[in-house]
Amino acid sequence: MALPILTGAQLREVESQMAAATPPLMVRAGVAVAEAARAMTGETGAAILVVAGPGNNGGDAWIAALNLLETFHRVVVLDVTGLPARLETARLAKDAFVAKGGSVVREWPLGPAPALVIDGLLGIGLARDVDAPFSGVIEHINAAGAPVLAIDIPSGLDSESGRPRGIAVRATRTLTFLAHKPGLLTCDGPDHCGTVVLADLGAGEAAAAIAKGILLTPEVAAEWLGARARNTHKGDFGTLGIIGGNRGMVGAAILAGRAALLAGAGKVQVGLITTDAPQVDFEHPELMLRHVDEAMLASVLVAGPGAGQSPSVTSVSMFERQLLPAAIASGKPLVLDADALNAIAVSLSLFAQVAARRAPTIATPHPAEAARLLKVTTTQVQGDRVTAALALARALNAFVVLKGAGSICATPSGRWSVNTTGNPGLATGGTGDVLAGIIGALLCQRLEPWHALQYAVCLHGAAADSLVDRGTGPVGLTASEVALECRRLVNLWTLRSP
């Protein structure tokens, strides 16, 4: 079952439902932190520095410190504010820790680095930028030269957006509670969280019941595309038409076409806009390089790769004035990518035509394209990626992927997922064209649009991960290599699907 992702409001609802739990959630969390700390240190008696803040995270930290002290670890607690704990459960743990001889300090301790630092400074309720004394403590944590276990979320990281609030802890591992949070998974979150481990504290069913977001993993996606029957032919797997490839950008359309073939489309027709188009792709002669009018007759369309933006070029004007409107009006499943999105962003008429479509539409913007479509800044999009993706899905009446670290997939009805695959190797030209081609190929194979989008996004990232694991990239990874690896993985995934 896919793991839920909850917003702050949803987390508070689950906490309310679990308020009468025995033992209390704070005790469960503190014990889970102690278990994770023991696993990370690997020995009894290891020196552990616990950083305890004034809130609930600090309460979890005190319970973890007491638990670790009782198992003979050398525990020092940095009590950052010295204020009494807010909840009785935390106060009792703090009093018991002191009564049993636990060491409490008010300043960062000097001396050798501990075996582990536990970050219980600030939690998910952070609503402003971090200031003193907390900012100084975070600087010490990051400079400690020791592994860091973050409680629920690295201190200073916004749990909704994944952006640091001025400064944030860089953890080795984050033990998060109840459910995953968007900020752990997207934007800067992955760079601060290290390995994320979920402890649902017995609230898994309650979290799943209210979640509209899920964690998109290969294990989840692999179930959606089964193995092929032996008695099939190419017509069973659709014909994809790709509309793009203006002068100087033919490679984008060809990359999308090659990726579609490698991802299983029965036939791929690449309708090139430029008048000096090549007649054959010698590396993949299976691609049919056609006049754009012929490619428009395919059963599924991808519009935009390499189509160009400058209105001063006649062929681009033809794309904006004729080809793109025809694709939108076609009544066929349609993937809008790259320059198709740029054209829609500056045309109220085209935007309205997309929103009025009844056939499935999938849009694949990166943050700058999403900002142009939403008439906001890229910084605003990145400041709340989930909200931006959902807003665009509603406005376009389309299934949307907001690309980037932790790509967000969203539906017009408000469902969403955060992809867990991918790495910096994908930050290179052509990988977006490859993704668009894969989505088109999956639509050709009659995967329903929401699954087709998520499967393609997850597969695309997993291919990059697989290549890096085998020594290719991330620096210098190419889009063509990603497309080839997608073929290998899609066959592995279908072999293990039900």
In this structure, are 246 and 188 located in the same domain?
no
- The answer on pLDDT for 416 being more than 90 is yes
pLDDT bin (cut points 50, 70, 90) of residue 198 is very high
Residue 141 domain flag: yes
Within 10 angstroms of residue 253's Cβ, the number of other Cβ atoms is: 32
Rounded mean pLDDT of 86-106? 94
Q: Is the CB of residue 464 less than 8 Å from the CB of residue 438?
A: no
Residue 216 domain flag: no
Q: Report the mean per-residue pLDDT for the chain.
A: 95
In this structure, are 196 and 245 located in the same domain?
no
**What integer pLDDT is reported at residue 495 of this predicted model?**
75
First to last CA, the chain: 14
In one letter, which amino acid is 84? P
In one letter, which amino acid is 338? A
Q: Is the CB of residue 457 less than 8 Å from the CB of residue 401?
A: yes
In this structure, are 190 and 226 located in the same domain?
no
**What integer pLDDT is reported at residue 498 of this predicted model?**
54
Reported as half-sphere exposure (CB side, CA atoms, 13 A), residue 137 has a value of 27
- The answer on pLDDT for 294 being more than 80 is yes
In this structure, are 268 and 372 located in the same domain?
yes
Residue at a domain's end among 211, 233, 256: 211
- The answer on pLDDT for 317 being more than 90 is no
CA distance 17 to 14: 5
In this structure, are 196 and 254 located in the same domain?
no
Residue at a domain's end among 211, 233, 264: 211
In this structure, are 230 and 105 located in the same domain?
no
> Which tens digit of pLDDT belongs to each residue from 52-83?
999 999 999 999 999 999 988 899 999 999 98
In sequence order, which residues have a C-beta less than 8 Å from that of residue 248 and are 6 or more positions away? 274
Task: Tell me the residue range of the domain where 387 lies.
Answer: 221-496
> Which tens digit of pLDDT belongs to each residue from 324-340?
999 999 999 999 999 99
Residue burial 358-377, b: 16+ Cβ < 10 Å; e: rest: eebbbbbbbbebbbbbbeee
In sequence order, which residues have a C-beta less than 8 Å from that of residue 125 and are 6 or more positions away? 8, 55, 56
- The answer on pLDDT for 122 being more than 60 is yes
In sequence order, which residues have a C-beta less than 8 Å from that of residue 447 and are 6 or more positions away? 224, 225, 455
In this structure, are 159 and 288 located in the same domain?
no
Rounded mean pLDDT of 426-452? 98
Q: pTM of this prediction?
A: 0.95
- Between 314 and 158, whose confidence is greater? 158
Reported as half-sphere exposure (CB side, CA atoms, 13 A), residue 491 has a value of 7
**What integer pLDDT is reported at residue 315 of this predicted model?**
44
CATH number of the domain at 196, please: 3.40.50.10260
Residue at a domain's end among 164, 181, 211: 211
In this structure, are 75 and 179 located in the same domain?
yes
Q: Which of 36-45, 303-312, 348-357 has the lowest mean pLDDT?
A: 303-312
> Which tens digit of pLDDT belongs to each residue from 336-362?
999 999 999 999 999 999 999 999 999
In this structure, are 197 and 294 located in the same domain?
no
In this structure, are 345 and 457 located in the same domain?
yes
The torsion of the CA quartet 192, 193, 194, 199, rounded to 10 degrees, works out to 170
CATH number of the domain at 487, please: 3.40.1190.20
- The answer on pLDDT for 314 being more than 60 is no
The count of domains in the chain is: 2
- The answer on pLDDT for 111 being more than 90 is no
CA distance 483 to 208: 34
CA distance 220 to 65: 36
In this structure, are 171 and 199 located in the same domain?
yes
- The answer on pLDDT for 120 being more than 80 is yes
In this structure, are 378 and 451 located in the same domain?
yes
